[in-house]
Amino acid sequence: MLGRRILQFFLIFALGLFGLMGVKYGLGLSDYVIPGPGEIITTSRAVAHDYFFDTLNTLMVAVIGQAISIFMAFFVGITARKSTWAGTLIKAAAYNIQAYPIVAVAPIIFILLGDGFTSRLLIAAMICYFPLLLSVIGIMAEPVTDMEHFYIATGRMRWQLEVKIRAFENIGKLTTVIAGSSTLAMAGTIVAEFIAANQGIGHSIRIALYQSDLSRILTALFLIGLFLSIYQEILEGVGKRLTSGWILPKGVESEDL
Amino acid sequence: MGLTCQHLEYRYPRSEEWVFRDLSFCLDRPGFHSLFGPSGVGKTSLARVIAGEINGFSGTLDRGEINTVLYTYNQERLPGWAPIERHLDRITPEGREDLREHLIEIFGLVPVMGQTFSQLSLGQQNRINLLRYLLQDFQLMIMDESLANVDERSKETILLEIKELFPDRYFLYISHNLIEVARFCDRILLFRGIGKSPQSLTFTGLDTRKTNQPGRDALDAVLLEIMNAG
């Protein structure tokens, strides 16, 4: 059975395609501007194999970039949760840096690191990192007073316990933010490939754009959407499993654990 | 000597309104005492001042022989990632396992040990919360509505047992139930609010124990005295 995300993607893509055809036939545009359904299918068949592996390549970079940014966001978010001077400094820096469009820095990264894997990874991680960091800082800096009071009053509070309580209380928010950040990681990778890389689906889109080949671009968009939906479906599934594994369902006795 | 407060004054930062002013009282002996009064007169704020959770007050607060103060309130929660039993296991100091088992039984919590906190009723949640505090080191425990939502019979059993188990400790019981306060408490500190002078008055309650159950007339007399003063 298709997952919710994948089904939503198919519906939206189909609607978009119908809309495009509506514009083509409504305005009487030529096949050069918007190709007909026959040409789209023929081109898709021709490039599907290459684009499939290009998208896989992009997704792989996005996944690694997202993993790095999740690790970094939690590391910095946990460090910055306290109202110390270091925490305040990190929070202020994070808020200010995230206000700057990271994509604008991408050319510098390509100049310094070349157009290989590292540049794509770095840009994907940076684009994904700051929104994730703001969410993690927001969650980690907010005390769960009703739960933490006992441990503070009795001298049992440790930073690990504090982080565990805050993560536990906001597990739904955290999994949603992580699943949502996958889109940012994918977008970051594609943008990086679009700017200067020599691999990935972004690179293929750039070539198709130079050729004004909308059929190829539509095929690429279909594969990007499909791969991203599957990836988000997996992330949400893992999030649900984590949540249900952590929070005991009603009626479960300790002996059952 | 126990807890002595003289001319205590407090208002929240950036607030013009005093929570309490010129408040003086003394708890000169261990026992089960009460902070009583209508909502909003500053009972919780005073409790948190005594517990050291609020600073920035003026006046004198002398804790005397009391080194460890614990403040517990009725909205506290236990994390939901483990059953109650496992939480209690982890927070029980060494050598107090028997006390824990005894309290679990007296508090009527044996059947819920395998459940998580969110699966319990409000009364059960409050009992579990109080129980874990009673297992810790303390000389003074402030119980801020700690037995809210607990049925009368269970409440009586719990209060009488606490008084028997901890005769040498200080308790400050915050409740809005006048009968309960008059029956079980020794000293009753009546908070009358910022507009009245004196702001607080001290009464002697019936201090009911398992071995000392005063009659109805005595209770009526205490209730009348407090109600007239309030």
Domains (range + CATH), chain A? 47-245 (1.10.3720.10)
- d(CA B77, CA B53) in angstroms, rounded, equals 18
Burial of A119: CB neighbours in 10 Å, binned 0-12, 13-18, 19+: buried
The residue in chain A having the minimum alpha-carbon distance to the alpha carbon of residue B130 is A150
> Residue A229: how many CA atoms within 13 Å on its side-chain side?
18
**Contact residues on chain B for A257, CB-CB shorter than 8 A:** 83
Chain A window 189-248: which residues touch B at a Cβ cutoff of 8 Å?
A: 246-248
The residue in chain B having the minimum alpha-carbon distance to the alpha carbon of residue A250 is B119
**Contact residues on chain B for A248, CB-CB shorter than 8 A:** 80-83, 115-116, 119
pLDDT tens digit string along B190-202?
988 777 778 888 8
Question: Could you give the ipTM of this predicted complex?
Answer: 0.92
- d(CA A59, CA A223) in angstroms, rounded, equals 11
Res. B230 pLDDT band, cuts 50 70 90: low
The residue in chain B having the minimum alpha-carbon distance to the alpha carbon of residue A147 is B77
Tell me which amino acid residue A233 is: E
Tokens 């001042």, located at residue? B49
Peptide bond connecting A131 to the previous residue in cis, omega within 30 degrees of 0:
no
Contact B132 A150 (CB under 8 A): yes
Q: How many domains would you assign to chain B?
A: 1
Burial of B18: CB neighbours in 10 Å, binned 0-12, 13-18, 19+: middle
The domain of B105 spans 3-229
CATH number for position B173:
3.40.50.300
B145, A162 Cβ separation under 8 angstroms: no
pLDDT tens digit string along A108-148?
888 888 888 888 899 889 888 888 988 898 899 899 999 99
Facing residue for A147 by CB, picked from B79, B119, B132? B79
Q: Average of pLDDT values for B95-102?
A: 95
Choose the most confident range, by mean pLDDT, from A195-199, B50-54, B215-219.
Answer: B50-54
A190, A124 Cβ separation under 8 angstroms: no
Among candidates A125, A123, A126, A104, which has minimal Cα distance to A115? A123
Residue A251: the pLDDT is 45
Tokens 């059952």, located at residue? A256
Q: Average of pLDDT values for A75-84?
A: 81
Among candidates B211, B26, B84, B65, which has minimal Cα distance to A253? B84
**Contact residues on chain B for A156, CB-CB shorter than 8 A:** 91
Contact A253 B115 (CB under 8 A): yes
Contact B75 A147 (CB under 8 A): no
Residue A116: the pLDDT is 82
The residue in chain B having the minimum alpha-carbon distance to the alpha carbon of residue A256 is B114
User: Could you tell me if B93 lies within 8 Å of chain A, comparing CB atoms?
Assistant: no
> A252 pLDDT exceeds 50?
no
pLDDT tens digit string along A5-26?
899 999 999 999 999 999 999 9
Among candidates A68, A215, A212, A52, which has minimal Cα distance to A130? A68
